[in-house]
Structure 1
Amino acid sequence: MTSSDAFGIYVHWPFCKAKCPYCDFNSHVRHGGVDALSFARALASELQWFAAQTQGRTVTSIFFGGGTPSLMPPDAVAHVLDAIAGLWPVSPQVETTLEANPTSIEAENFRGYRAAGVNRVSVGVQALNEADLKALGRQHSADEALAAFRLAAKIFPRVSFDMIYARPNQTAAAWREELSRALTEQQGHMSLYQLTIEPGTAYFDLAERGSLITPTDDSAADLYDLTQELTEKAGLSTYEVSNHAAPGQESRHNLLYWRYGEYAGVGPGAHSRLADGKNRRALIAEKHPETWRDLVASQGHGIISDIIVPPADQASEYLLMGLRIAEGIDLDRYAALAGREIDSSKLAGMKSMGLIKRHGQRLMATADGRKLLNAVIAELAV
């Protein structure tokens, strides 16, 4: 399936039980509870607005992200999926993913999600030792996480085992032991993210005060290399910088992003990229949940920014996204968007340094290039 054939829908559920200290996503805690059905209805209303903007598309993937989508009651998930099915043709092979936290309470909803139509879950295990789970603000134990993952693997056709590494005080030996244990549990897909300290998070404030010590750049690079070594040995190819899969188990929705495909994002703070002739529309929704819901009630959507992305800017976005994946970018597509080819001398220089490689009209970052990806992209985009 090409990027032009794929059309995805992202559904943002912004609520969490607690705010994790490393998280800079649009997530909110509501101690007084959440009227889940009112938000599900608002999501369905915003989907209706997007359907009018995207006639002729067939939905090939759906992704519930957050926040914590596994706090959604199954009937709320079903309400959203029913709305999608009533507004667009849906591919018989649609991939419908829901991000899930592995607490025992949330795991109780797994069968309800499967009945609603979810066929893939991404389980946020994050760590397999109690001290680091507590430091990360997680509300599950390692044993609870493994039990939830095993239950998910029995219920859903596809599951992802998700973890964070390069955590404070983490050693290579400890990560080798932890990842090796996780690899005995995984079912064909792992998302393994290096911890990044983002502004606006509790971890950022601690790091600014010198109270949070994370691995040095060299140590983080060693942990990255170790991650590649162990996953490859287990038969999981690195198809994207932080994602590893057995053949056919890649996340089709995330590949749509990285291939610079078209998608509609609904919910507080959600982003969209929609085709508009040769241009694209970049849309962003209001981030505050209740304000977003009020906007949807008054105007049918919560969009607060809708700008045109001309082809030259699309080329930059395509380069930024496409070099993250092992398959790389199509140089002809890049040239058509940018109105020029990438400077051949820069390509030659990067190739001589072992940072990029080329197969026909496809350009890919090498394993070494992925470690310096931001620098590689910056050089090629000029």
Structure 2
Amino acid sequence: MIPIKPVTAIKATAPVKRDLSDVPQDVTSQYLAAGSLNLTQLPPLSLYVHFPWCVRKCPYCDFNSHEVRGSFDETGYLNALRADLEAALPLIWGRKIYTIFIGGGTPSLMSAAGLDRLLSDVRTLLPLDGAAEITMEANPGTFEAEKFRSYRQSGINRLSVGIQSFNSRHLSALGRIHDGDEARRAVEIAQTNFDNFNLDLMFALPGQTLDEVRQDVETAIALAPPHLSLYHLTLEPNTYFAKYPPVIPDDDLSAEMQDLIHGKMAAAGYGNYEVSAYAQVKRESRHNLNYWNFGDYLGIGAGAHSKISFPHRVIRQARYKQPQTYMEAVAQGNAVQESYEIEAADMGFEFMLNSLRLQQGFKVALFQERTGLLLNTIEKELREAEQKGLLYRDHELITPTSLGKRFLNDLQQIFLKAE
């Protein structure tokens, strides 16, 4: 059996970038008026809103989340989000928002009134598509039936519930604030109030057996969620688990777990459309698909990242991470800590890093449409990937082979340009 490497983002040493953080946002679009790329049309645009607080930091979590110490300044943070969005508007004038994702942290710590105010501010400032997908992450330990009814009434039409496991022993090992019964109760509340929701599960957990993975997956399938995300636990740098690593299943057992998951999900009618994502027919996450198809997204909130395209440039931005620092920076007129152009030499890698996660691959024309470059700029890398049996392509489609899907990190690495 071929061992499966956990799929993680490849962190490359960045080339020298043109810093835009000191350029006033109201003139940045004029500053980006000329360059070497040529995008004939701009990609779909999503909005990401980051809520940075949680009840307790999980030992495996490397996201920008901060434990609540008694209380948090909800009103001050919502004020900052609105001001941040207003300041960013010149970068996206006239562009419609097709999906919104409110992530964290634990956004379900937000009050019903706070969430309603947030979505009201977004609608006031941005043109939303009439069928916009609006997702909110939620922790089962924070579920209150009445509050989630209010979330739905305010406009949330998709929920993403961080179950991780239905096994209380594993939940305790992961540092989660809920147990198995609360996980099931959270799904019941989600089913009652939302016809579109996702459940997050993890596998290859400390001390987990193959049979326990089977029980988790069968329990999830029995609840019939429209969408399931199944992630391999990875020991990320700068986490408690990285410093004090638990004993987790080896490569062979992890491979068996993943094979079991694939089989169970396929038999239940779920399509594996992305590395870790399974969906019922036409229930794929539109927000995540925009990421994997190298679409654009404006990120607001502490630590939020953005990718924004212009006819001749593509820029990335990152907001200040610490909540208080972020709010102070917004008050001073610029929440953006870092802003830079993606160099043309890196564009192919950035596109392939995302699009190769799609199990069915991508249409050849999408590369030029989203990068502004001709496909022959990565011809050498494409040929190498084909020769290694990791990639298949014809005149219409480029897709990872079965081997490429199993060794996705190696496939993506081929497209990483040397310094």
Equivalent residue for 1:215?
A: 249
In the alignment, is residue 297 of structure 1 matched against residue 331 of structure 2?
yes
Whether 1:312 aligns to 2:331 is no
1:311–1:361 distance in 2 versus 1, CA, 3 Å: farther
| More relative contact order, 1 or 2 (CA 8 Å, 6+ apart) | 2
- In the TM superposition, residue 281 of structure 1 has moved relative to its aligned partner by 1.1
CA distance in 2, matches of 1:289, 1:195: 27
Q: Distance in 2 between matches of 1:196 and 1:86?
A: 40
In the TM superposition, 1:1-382 aligns within 5 A as 4-103=42-141, 105-207=143-245, 212-299=246-333, 301-334=334-367, 337-339=372-374, 341=376, 347=382, 350-351=385-386, 354-381=389-416
- 1:179-216 alpha-carbon deviations (Å, 9 max, x no partner): 11211113220011110101111111112xxxx11111
Whether the aligned pair in 1 keeps the contact of 2:98 and 2:131 (CA below 8 Å) is yes
Q: CA deviation at 1:339?
A: 4.6
Aligned residues between the structures: 376
CA distance in 2: counterparts of 1:15 and 1:270, whole angstroms: 13
Return closer, same or farther for 1:342/1:213 CA change in 2, 3 Å cut-off. Answer: farther
Where 1:20 maps in the other structure, the secondary structure is coil
Code of the aligned partner of 1:287: K
Distance in 2 (CA, whole Å) between partners of 1:52 and 1:226 is 49
SS in 1 for 2:376: coil
SS in 2 for 1:247: coil
Change (3 A) 1:376 1:176: same
Deviation digits for residues 47-85 of structure 1 (CA, Å, limit 9, x no counterpart)? 111222100110100000000011111222122211111
TM-superposed deviation, 1:177: 2.0
Secondary structure of 1:109's aligned partner = helix
- Once the two structures are superposed, what CA deviation does each residue of 1:115-156 show, in whole Å capped at 9, x if it has no partner? 111000001111111110111111111111111111111111
The structural deviation recorded for 1:10 is 0.2
Counterparts in 2 of 1:257 and 1:131: CA distance versus 1, 3 Å: same
Q: How many Å apart are 1:347 and its aligned residue?
A: 4.5
Higher deviation after alignment, 32-41 or 234-243: 32-41
* TM-fit CA distance, 1:334: 3.1
How big is the shift at 1:239? 0.6
More displaced 10-residue stretch of structure 1: 366-375 or 15-24: 366-375
In structure 1, what is the equivalent of residue 4 of structure 2? none
Q: Could you tell me which residue of structure 1 aligns to residue 11 of structure 2? A: none
8 Å Cα contact 1:329-1:364 kept in structure 2? yes
One-letter identity of the residue aligned with 1:367: S
Structure 1: 5+ residue runs without aligned partners?
Answer: none
Deviation of the 1:371 alpha carbon: 1.6
Q: What displacement does 1:350 show?
A: 4.2
What are structure 2's unaligned runs of at least 5 residues?
A: 1-40
Moved over 6 A (4+): none
| Structure 1 residue matching 2:315: 3-state secondary structure | strand
